[in-house]
Amino acid sequence: MGREQWRPGNMLYPLPAVMVSVADKEGKPNIITVAWAGTVCTNPPMVSISVRPERYSYHCIEETGEFVINLTTKKLTYATDYCGVRSGRDVDKFKQMHLTPVAGKEVKAPLIGESPVCLECKVKQTLPLGSHTMFLAEVVSVSVDQAYMDENNRFHLDWADPIVYSHGIYYELGKALGKFGYSVAKKKNKK
């Protein structure tokens, strides 16, 4: 089987499809869907999102220095897409998608109540990179939906049916294939 060369581009897929909630300095909320999001550092906990400067939410983040990353699920797929293709200049996305704004603990931007995990973030650095600007942010609070906690107080994101984005398509995640470190773990002796 041969290989085909394409022009340079972002083909690092799949990506998390996240809804980022923001508020402007007057407190008006909005939601933007981004796939350019990622983990940057463990200690302190840092993430990044990249947003085009012409997007309505860009200026909210720029003026407040805050946002919330809300993980998405199979049930939220339609809202995830809608919030990525409609502008907050024209529509109240919380109202249109019947999403619940929940007050944050550390930021003024609202959390999305229907999201299984919400990461409250404060911008530490802004990096204009070309078509997008990267907001490097510290995670200052994490909120999880108790519906995904088991009797041992362990969180199960898989129960929420999380989704990812790959080259224009949303996918639900499949079955687990292994646990971190399983390739080098010593096998247990059967007795």
Cα–Cα nearest to 18, from 83, 93, 113: 83
Q: Which portions of the chain are predicted below pLDDT 50?
A: none
Range of the domain at 84: 15-172
> How confident is the model at residue 191, as a pLDDT?
62
CATH of the domain at 104: 2.30.110.10
> How confident is the model at residue 154, as a pLDDT?
95
> How confident is the model at residue 139, as a pLDDT?
98
> How confident is the model at residue 188, as a pLDDT?
75
**62-100 confidence digits (pLDDT tens):** 999 999 999 999 999 999 999 999 999 999 999 999 999
Domain-located, residue 6 = no
> How confident is the model at residue 12, as a pLDDT?
84
Non-local CB neighbours of 173 within 8 Å, separated by 6+ positions: 158, 161, 162, 163, 164
Phi first, then psi: give them for residue 90, nearest 5 degrees.
-110, -20
Distances (CA, A) of 129 to 18, 81, 178: 21, 25, 36
Domain-located, residue 114 = yes
What whole-number distance in Å separates Cα of residue 179 and Cα of residue 24?
41
Distances (CA, A) of 32 to 11, 12, 106, 158, 185: 21, 21, 20, 23, 41
Domain-located, residue 128 = yes
> How confident is the model at residue 11, as a pLDDT?
81
Structural domains in the chain (count) = 1
What whole-number distance in Å separates Cα of residue 61 and Cα of residue 34?
13
> How confident is the model at residue 190, as a pLDDT?
64
Domain-located, residue 151 = yes
